[in-house]
Structure formats: structure tokens, C-alpha cells
Amino acid sequence: MGNKLQSQVAIVTGACSGIGAGVANALATDGAIVVINYPSDHTHDAADAVLNEIKSAGGRGMIYQCDVSKEDQVQAMFAETVKQFGTVDILINNAGLQDDSPFTEMTLAQWNHVIGVNLTGQFLCAREAIREFLRRGMQPEKSVALGKIICMSSVHEVIPWAGHANYAASKGGIKLLMQTLAQEFAPKKIRINSIGPGAIKTPINKSAWDTPEAEVKLLTLIPYGRVGITDDIGKAAVWLASDDSDYVNGTTLFVDGGMTLFPGFSTNG
């Protein structure tokens, strides 16, 4: 175990699977106390399993059910975290989903569902986190920053994605939400950055990598020649949450094996 995040309290939204679970594990391995957020009764056992893995490796944390698109639930999650652990030092704004459709068939419900979780959820959680950072004040024994927020964006904050207009719009929105908050709160010593994953093997994109044919097709988009794993994102999150990245603010760190390098141009320019 490392100690870059020793005793810092981290809320990780959507941490009962995939990237969120991997990031929660990575933060705990570096000493953070982790709040594993999950959205419904249906995902309770998965969240419990993530916490048990952390505890069996000597880490600390709790699970907390909350739909990040609901203001009262988000406020209750932050209040309970402060009650249990004293404050919040790190927010990983990770919860997200897809509800895909050809654009002319996309319903308003599909649009609102994705924007509500992916974008409004990040707004609600970031607002509560910043309120708590400002209330609590500096803790030089923990970090040189007042607080850190990492927004889970996507390569689709810059790559358009036909058939996924709601998802791409949510990630494009996260880009300027993150940069605007970073600009507004840098003078208060709050650092806000995004991670832009490329293709990471998780439930959200299983059909894109779970057969050899699908994986070969996916790899044509990845110059580095492998599909990502949650550990790739966990390592990036630990760095962005730690003082090692103290001069990094308002940036998206793409962790994508080069997916944003326009691979189609490598043989056809």
C-alpha cells in the first residue's frame, strides 16, 4: 500500500462496478477512506463486494446508496460522509450511463435520463463537494490543495459519436463544466480535472470487446494495440488526486491508448 492519499476522504460515484470500482480500490490502496456510491437496491451487493475487497486489503470506507441525479439524495450523501468521516477531500464524479438511439428516434426521456445522470449528477456532486471544501478550510497535514475533483469524462468530449447524441452532449458538457469550475475555484486552491477514458473493459461497453471479432474491430481505433483496463484509470485517478499533480488544473487527461489521435489518418493522410 502507498500513502499518497493517507486519511483523505474520497466519494466515488457509481463505484459498484467498472471504472468506479477500480478507482475506489486504487484510492484505498493509497490510503484514502472511500465512500462507494451505488444507485439502487439492485446494485447494493455489488457495492458491498467492492467495500469488502477494500477492507480485506486493510482499507477503510462505507457504501452509500444515492441517485446522483437527485439533489436531496446527493446532499444527504455528503452530509452522511461528513458525519461519518469528518469531511470530504476528493470527489470522483464517475457515475454515468448510456441510453443509445438513432437521433430521430431518441425520446425526450432518453435525452433527460443521460443528461440527468451524466451531467446534472456531476453538477450536483461538484457543488456539494466545493461547499464542503470551503466550509472545512485547509488541512496542510493532508494536502496542499483545499480539495480535488476528478470528473469522469470520455474521449467523446472531443470525438462526435453518431447514435449517441445524448451521451456525447453530456461528455462535451462535462468538459466546460470542469474547466469553468477549475477557473472559478483555482484561487481557493481547489483543483478540478477530468479523465477521458478511451475503451476500457467494463459492463458499459461489453458488446464492444467480449468476442474476438468485436475486439479486433475495436482495436482499429486504438493505436497502442490493446483495450484498456480499470487499473489504467485507477492509476491516473490516484495521480490526479494526489499532490504529485499539484500544478495540474482544468485539464482532461486522456487515458485512451491514442484513440484521440485520429487513427484513421495513420495510413490515409
Among 5, 34, 50, 200, binds ligand NAD (CB under 6 A): 200
Cβ pair 209, 215 in contact under 8 A: yes
Is residue 257 involved in binding ligand NAD (CB under 6 A)? no
**Residue 173 touching ligand NAD (CB under 6 A):** no
Distances (CA, A) of 52 to 6, 31, 126, 158, 182: 19, 16, 27, 37, 34
Does residue number 31 form part of the binding site for ligand NAD (CB under 6 A)?
Answer: no
Q: Is 75 in the site for ligand NAD (CB under 6 A)?
A: no
Q: Is 224 a catalytic residue?
A: no
Work out whether 68 is an interface residue with ligand NAD (CB under 6 A).
yes
Residue at grid coordinates 448510456 = 98
Which residues 6+ apart lie within 8 Å of 55 measured at CB? 61
- Alpha carbon of residue 226 to chain centroid: 21
Tell me how far apart the alpha carbons of residues 167 and 112 are, in angstroms, rounded to a whole number. Answer: 10
Q: Which stretch binds ligand NAD (CB under 6 A): 62-70, 102-110, 135-143, 235-243?
A: 62-70
Q: Are 47 and 63 in contact (CB under 8 A)?
A: yes
Site string for ligand NAD, 110-129 (x = CB under 6 A): -------x------------
Catalytic residues, by residue number, are 167
Q: Residue numbers of the site for ligand NAD (CB under 6 A)? A: 13-14, 16-20, 37-39, 43, 67-69, 94-97, 117, 152, 154, 197, 199-200, 202-205
